[in-house]
Amino acid sequence: MKTIQISPADNIVVLTMSLPAGVTFEIDGREHRLPVAIGLGHKLAARSIQRGEKIIKYGVSIGSATCGIEVGEHVHLHNMQSDYLPTFTLDQGREFRGIK
């Protein structure tokens, strides 16, 4: 099995193995194709999610969708955000690049 749903209320599933682009996987009996390579532990939408809707994992909210998300789409920094604190990553231009 390539994905698991942790709680029945979840609107996302989690990849249980790293998958290359083009691989097919099933959600609710329907086949989807991965547009890009996605690593183990990442989330895919288990149903279509509207902008502003809560992303549910472990049966609880882990943040909100910042745009509409289709079934099978990768759910991550590009389409959801925290309801508490902004998420820090190195590719947001905030990293220290030395003194000019």
Partner 1 sequence: MSVLHPTAFLRTDGCKGIRNTVAVVYLVECAHHVAREIQYHFREQDVHLLGFSGCYPNEYSHRMLIKLCTHPNVGAVLLLSLGCEGFNRRGLLGAIRESGRPAELLVIQETGGTRTTTTSGLEWVQKTLRELESSPRAPMALEELVVGTVCGGSDGTSGITANPGIGRAFDQLVGAGSTCIFEETGELIGCEQIMASRAATPELAEILIASVAKAARYYATLGHGSFAPGNADGGLTTQEEKSMGAYSKSGSSRISGLIKPGDTPRAGGLYLLDVVPDGDVRFGFPNINDNAEIVELIACGSHVILFATGRGSIVGSAISPVIKVCANPETFRNLSDDMDIDAGRILEGRGTLDDVGTEIVDLVKAVSRGKQTASEALGHQEFVLGYKSFEPINPGCHPTYQ
Of the candidate spans 19-27, 28-36, 45-53, 88-96, the one that interacts with partner 1 by CB under 8 A turns out to be: 88-96
Residues linked to residue 27 through DSSP beta bridges, in sequence order? 30
Question: What mask of x and - would describe binding to partner 1 in positions 16 to 55, judged by CB under 8 A?
Answer: xxx--------------------xxxxx-----------x
Beta strands 74-75 and 43-45 are: antiparallel
Which two three-digit tokens encode residue 1?
A: 């099995």
Burial zone of 43 (CB within 10 Å; 0-12 exposed, 13-18 middle, 19+ buried): buried
Of the candidate spans 22-30, 45-53, 70-78, the one that interacts with partner 1 by CB under 8 A turns out to be: 70-78
Amino acid at residue number 85? L
By CB under 8 A, name the binding residues for partner 1. 1, 4, 6, 14-18, 39-43, 55, 57-58, 60-63, 75-77, 80-90
